[in-house]
């Protein structure tokens, strides 16, 4: 294996050992696996609150439906949040443990509006679990870490995903997915970093 491929793998595919946390974040998506992982962490007693976030992808006019997952979830879901809530409820999470953020239309906005919600609800986040697809782990952590700089963020990627650290170089689809994420980790942070250096706060101009 080429050394640079190992470097890309380590950079993109983050995974931490779960620890008890104040909340679990689930960035918006149509994949069932991240919400299933969050539900499992809840059932294990590792977090009392789950915050799925998402309306639907920018540039679309509605939630496009479930994208992946071994189990199909029945119902009509108007938003990514509604879908993820449906997954969580089907996996045994009670309604009172699920917070609601259903306005975000891109990943940075998932983090921004999640922070707005936790602040307004006076939820102190000292440690959080971040449940996402494995290939999205680095970029999701970059966004949420930007909005929660004082918190310890532990990435708990979904299980059973098609593209993983072990197989991403095996298919054209895996290569495209990982290298596209690598590109986004640079391209989507130009304005964010420049704004932070100027003390201008957080911008909301990037797309998924």
Q: What is the CATH number of the domain that holds 166?
A: 3.40.50.620
pLDDT value, residue 196: 82
Segments forming the whole domain that contains residue 185: 3-198
Tell me the pTM. Answer: 0.92
| Domain assignment present for 203 | no
Residues of the chain with pLDDT under 70: 1, 199-208
Report how far residue 85's alpha carbon sits from residue 69's, in angstroms, rounded to the nearest whole number. 15
| Domain assignment present for 207 | no
Please, which residues bridge with residue 127 across strands?
Answer: 152
Identify which of 13, 36, 53, 25 has the alpha carbon closest to the alpha carbon of residue 159. 36
Do the beta carbons of residue 34 and residue 83 sit within 8 Å?
no
């Amino acid at each position: 294996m080429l050394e640079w491929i190992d470097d890309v793998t380590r950079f993109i595919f983050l995974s931490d050992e779960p620890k008890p946390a104040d909340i679990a974040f689930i960035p918006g998506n149509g994949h069932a696996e991240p919400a299933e992982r969050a539900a499992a962490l809840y059932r294990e007693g590792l977090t009392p609150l789950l915050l799925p976030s998402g309306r639907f992808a920018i540039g679309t006019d509605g939630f496009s439906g479930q994208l992946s997952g071994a189990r199909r979830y029945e119902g009509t879901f108007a938003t990514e949040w509604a879908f993820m809530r449906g997954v969580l409820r089907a996996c045994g999470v009670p309604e009172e443990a699920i917070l609601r953020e259903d306005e975000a239309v891109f990943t940075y906005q998932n983090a921004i509006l999640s922070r707005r919600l936790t602040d307004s609800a006076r939820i102190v986040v000292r440690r959080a679990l971040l449940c996402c697809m494995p290939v999205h782990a680095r970029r999701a952590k970059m966004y949420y870490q930007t909005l929660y700089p004082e918190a310890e963020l532990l990435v708990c990627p979904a299980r059973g995903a098609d593209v993983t650290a072990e197989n991403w170089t095996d298919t054209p689809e895996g290569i495209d997915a990982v290298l596209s994420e690598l590109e986004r980790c640079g391209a989507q942070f130009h304005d964010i970093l420049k704004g932070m250096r100027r003390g201008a706060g957080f911008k909301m101009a990037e797309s998924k």
